[in-house]
C-alpha cells in the first residue's frame, strides 16, 4: 500500500491514501485586515474542478502561526479595596462578533471604563487564537472554502449583561495561518 505515513510520538500510525484523502492545497496565508464586501471574513481557496464538491469529502486543517492579543490591564478600587491586574476589552480596538450560521461579522465596541459606571467595563475571561473554515454559498457542495482566523476573547459585555465571544482580525488578531486541504473519493 502507498500513501503518506503519519506517526505520533506514541507510535500510533495512520496512512493517508487517495481513498482517505488527496492533498489538494496547502501553505501559509497572511490574513486580511478587513472584512470581505459581504461582512464575512477570510480568504477563499478554490477547489479543483468546476462542479461542487460535497463538504463531507473535504478535510481542512488550519493552524495559527502569528497571533496578537489586544486588551488592557487595569487596577481599580471598590469599597476601599484595590483589585489589581484585571483584564478588559480595550476601547478603540476593532472587535467583532460572528454569526456562526452565516459567517457575517459585526463590529462590537468596548466600553470606555468610566469610573462609577459598571456598564462601561467589559471584563475578559480568556484570549486564544481560533482558526477554521466556512463554506461560502451552498453549504452542501462547494467550489471553494474560506479560511478564517481571529484572536478570540471571552468577555462579559457589561452593558448587555451577557457573556460573549468577540474577535480581532488580521495584524491585530491572527496574522498568519498554515493550512492544508485534502479531498477524499475524488
3-state SS assignment for residue 111 = coil
Quote the CA–CA distance of 103 and 147 in Å, as a whole number.
11
β-bridge pairing 144-157 and 123-134: antiparallel
pTM higher than 0.85: no
Q: What is the pLDDT of residue 79?
A: 66
Q: What is the mean pLDDT of each run of 10 residues along the chain (186 residues)?
A: 76 76 88 96 92 89 89 66 72 92 93 84 89 82 93 91 94 94 82
Quote the CA–CA distance of 173 and 127 in Å, as a whole number.
10
Please enumerate in sequence order all residues whose Cβ is within 8 A of that of 62, keeping only pairs 6 or more positions apart, or say none.
Answer: 131, 132, 133, 147, 149, 177, 178, 179
Amino acid at each position: 500500500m502507498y500513501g503518506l505515513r503519519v506517526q505520533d510520538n506514541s507510535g500510533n500510525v495512520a496512512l493517508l491514501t487517495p481513498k482517505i484523502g488527496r492533498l489538494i492545497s496547502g501553505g501559509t496565508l497572511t490574513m486580511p485586515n478587513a472584512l470581505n464586501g459581504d461582512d464575512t471574513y477570510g480568504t477563499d481557496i478554490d477547489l479543483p474542478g468546476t462542479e461542487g464538491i460535497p463538504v463531507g469529502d473535504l478535510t481542512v486543517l488550519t493552524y495559527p502561526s502569528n497571533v496578537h492579543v489586544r486588551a488592557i490591564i487595569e487596577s481599580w478600587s471598590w469599597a476601599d479595596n484595590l483589585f489589581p491586574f484585571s483584564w478588559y476589552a480595550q476601547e478603540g480596538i476593532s472587535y467583532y462578533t460572528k454569526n456562526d450560521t452565516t459567517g457575517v461579522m459585526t463590529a462590537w465596541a468596548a466600553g470606555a471604563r468610566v469610573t462609577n459606571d459598571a456598564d462601561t467595563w467589559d471584563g475578559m475571561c480568556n484570549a486564544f487564537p481560533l482558526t477554521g473554515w466556512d463554506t461560502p454559498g451552498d453549504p452542501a457542495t462547494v467550489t471553494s472554502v474560506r479560511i478564517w482566523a481571529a484572536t478570540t476573547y471571552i468577555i462579559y459585555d457589561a452593558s448587555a449583561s451577557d457573556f460573549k465571544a468577540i474577535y480581532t482580525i488580521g495584524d491585530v488578531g491572527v496574522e498568519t495561518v498554515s493550512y492544508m486541504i485534502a479531498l477524499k473519493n475524488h
